Structure 1
């Protein structure tokens, strides 16, 4: 499981953050790139190990990844599945 990019903030949170800038310090960005999501998911009961044996940069830059992966496009992210690797692309910029 690989995460690319940052999850879009909720509109209500964006409004609150704009009106009360201090509030953003209490809500860290958990789904930002490769390291943060795993401790967060473990804390809420979803157990995935960090892909320590995978070179994330290499996987995301390989040319065949985009043409051979199964793709699911959603409003907030694109989801790619290739062999035993799943990529959640919040930035939607991997396979353009």
Structure 2
């Protein structure tokens, strides 16, 4: 639960008076090993796990999201990403 970008130390590395981007606020060297970016927002790695839980059918989501066969490519696109900074915009119609 420790923030990657923050100050204050302790178990959360969070101080509401010194947010990410302020002077003397440190950033971790590997955000992929953290769940929280700044104490409010999830890291990209954590967001990938949230999305996987929601759309893969393997998580604890009730009722399950059921994508029509024509939209199964959405899951494939998300997880075949090369990890580049390129943003993936996806529009999905759910039935």
TM over 0.5: no
Tell me the TM-score normalized by structure 1. 0.23
Higher relative contact order (CA 8 A, sep 6+): 1
Query: 1 or 2, which has the higher helix percentage?
Result: 1
Structure of greater Rg: 2
